[in-house]
Amino acid sequence: ESLPRSFVDATTANALRAHRDGTIRKLANQTFAPPEDRARVLQQYADVANRFSTANVDSGRQLFVQHCSNCHRMEDVGHMVGPDISDSRTKTAEALLVAILNPDAAIDASFTRYQILTIDGEVVSGLLHNENSESVTLREAGNQQRRVSRDDIETFRAVDASLMPSGMEQTLSVTQMSDLIAYLKRWRYAAEGL
């Protein structure tokens, strides 16, 4: 019996694709390879822009809590690790869709992702929280801070990729994406009873 691809979330799939063990890395790249062509993925989800106005905001709220709240905060739920998206009413549904499905396309310099490889072979990835002569502290998803002693660091570098994982199309269907976009666009109105 096979498991659905969504059994492993996009963050974990990305971590497995970058695993230090070559066998695991190869298997993960075969199993969880993101679609090569982001334009094709965006085309598959283009209908979301037409559907979000009639989509289910409550379902979208649940999807936000499940998939986005590790790094984003709305209605006092979640963590402020990534950019503030609380006033997403000003963004078009198309812009939100591109940001979700192709997060590497535009990375705010304030949210550059850093990666540490420890001398034990562990990979730590996150936003730079603090750095001094003794250690480096990264802020990971879920707002967890991870301090690594400089003596334990093999390599430390900025990564030209968003902290937000690509591959959300493997987790959210077009209907679910419509619900999520509806929530992002209309949560204030829903909260105000409009």
Burial 135-153 (b: 16+ CB within 10 A, else e): ebbbbbbeeeeeebeeeee
What is residue 144's predicted lDDT score, i.e. its pLDDT? Answer: 92
Fold of 109-159: SH3 type barrels. (2.30.30)
Task: Give the C-alpha separation, 143 to 6, whole Å.
Answer: 23
Task: Give the C-alpha separation, 83 to 14, whole Å.
Answer: 20
Average pLDDT for runs of 10 along the chain of length 194: 57 74 84 67 90 92 94 91 85 90 79 92 93 96 93 92 84 95 86 58
What is the tens place of the pLDDT at every residue in 51-85?
988 999 999 999 999 999 999 999 999 998 988 88
Q: Is the pTM of this model over 0.75?
A: no
What is the tens place of the pLDDT at every residue in 123-140?
999 999 999 999 999 999
